[in-house]
Amino acid sequence: MPEIQYHQLADHALEDLLERIEEFLEVVDVDDSDIEYSQGVLTIRLGKLGTYVINKQTPNRQIWMSSPISGPVRYDYAKGAWVYHRDGHKMHERLENEMEQLTGVKVDLNPCTTCERLGTCVNGSDCPV
């Protein structure tokens, strides 16, 4: 994948997660929760429940996620989603499931309800479907 395309896809995915999780944290009651995004690193603090760090790894064209539940995982972009190559799970789905497990509140992190391509509708363009 060309570097410019990688940056478009990864930046869009991380920025969208930032917006959706900010909204989620306003609704759930988690003490000392916070989220920040800076220089390609998204940090989600859930107080005593743990911290997620999700960041771009440009040389590998991956997104890396460190989870308080599942530990570190490296995601590659494949078939319209960020996917873990060892077992095929999608980053957005893993994050949804784990955040629900930690908080007891369901969260929808899928940015496109039309095509369900999990973060690939870049540059504010219409869904390709």
> In the chain, what are the domains?
3-122 (3.30.920.10)
Confidence tier at 70 by pLDDT (50, 70, 90): very high
Residue in the block written with tokens 């896809």: 9
pTM higher than 0.85: no
For residue 96, the model assigns a pLDDT of 94
Residue 4 in tokens: 């410019």
Backbone CA torsion sign across 116, 118, 120, 125:
positive
Residue in the block written with tokens 């989870």: 67
Does position 111 have pLDDT exceeding 80, yes or no? no
Does position 13 have pLDDT exceeding 80, yes or no? yes
Does position 82 have pLDDT exceeding 80, yes or no? yes
